[in-house]
Amino acid sequence: MPITRAEAFAPASMGNVGIGFDILGLAYQEPGDRVIAEYWDQPGIQIAKIEGDGGRLPLTASQNTAGVAAQSVLSRVGADCGISLTIYKGLSLESGMGSSAASAVAAAMAVNALLGSPLTKRDLLPACLDGEALVSGRHADNVAPCLLGGIVLVTGVDADHILTLPYPAQLRLALVTPEVAVPTAQARAVLPPTIPLKAMVSQTMHVARMIDALYRGDLEAIAMAMESDQVIEPARAHLMPYLQEVRSAAKAAGALGVVISGAGPTLCAVCDSDTSAERVAFVMGSVYQAAGMGATVRATQICDQGARVI
């Protein structure tokens, strides 16, 4: 008996991972978005409902990353049926945690499952990128880890150009998201159009150090490399309230390093245990609390599975 309903979960993600602008990404174990796909009696994609977005996201499928990704799946498999989507946003918009990518990936996964899974996960990458391109450009530093899981090196937009990287088992992450929005377009607009040769050499050196440290499983070296960005963070730091104060407090509490998650304003601390991550998350939140600013904190780790049908 054919299924008439499928549901998928897609996790939050961090683009850049500090030092690797647009070429490194990782999937957080939580939070994430859920999408339910069901057949309906009109051809194409409709979005029946969105919960958790505060009414900010469009219900028109062609203007929503989930709707675009879902339609792309239909087109790629040659299906002419009608599918209705219900989207549950577990991710805040404009938070630096891959919200638009998660919606696109969850929708693509759910629609593919509803159709009997004709496409593999890697086959779904182009459809997910179609959705992400609607709002953030056609780059895979959020979509690829969200879909595939783990830490990835992005060398292009084809599945063959997404390389999975190793990491030490004790790696844990502490997150704090202050109640301030940083739109990706704004965060990109402040970036320098050119950089000096010396800065380029330094940046590429630290990316290489990051890859080396990941393969050696050296957590302290990983954190040091992540935090060595001399191009992107300096340009964006003014958009991140209390960045230096949070970094100082987190390190005093045991964090090995603190970086901006994606375009921000979420900040991510690298820790070496669950206990440390929980302590550091609390301390980072306390910085905003003392400043009279609301913030959400979370202790988590890397999600190796990526998106999944549930």
Q: Which residues are catalytic?
A: 132, 184
- Report how far residue 241's alpha carbon sits from residue 245's, in angstroms, rounded to the nearest whole number: 9
Burial classification of residue 54, based on how many CB atoms lie within 10 Å of its CB (0-12 exposed, 13-18 middle, 19 or more buried): exposed
Both tokens of 263, joined, read: 């375009």
Q: CB of 301 within 8 A of CB of 173?
A: yes
Q: How far is CA 134 from CA 71, 103, 127, in A?
A: 13, 12, 12
DSSP 92-112: -TTSSS-HHHHHHHHHHHHHH
- Report how far residue 37's alpha carbon sits from residue 79's, in angstroms, rounded to the nearest whole number: 14
DSSP structural state of residue 61: G
The candidate with the shortest Cα–Cα distance to 170, out of 209, 212, 218, 213, is 218
- Helix-helix angle 219-226:197-216, to 10 degrees: 160
Burial classification of residue 10, based on how many CB atoms lie within 10 Å of its CB (0-12 exposed, 13-18 middle, 19 or more buried): buried
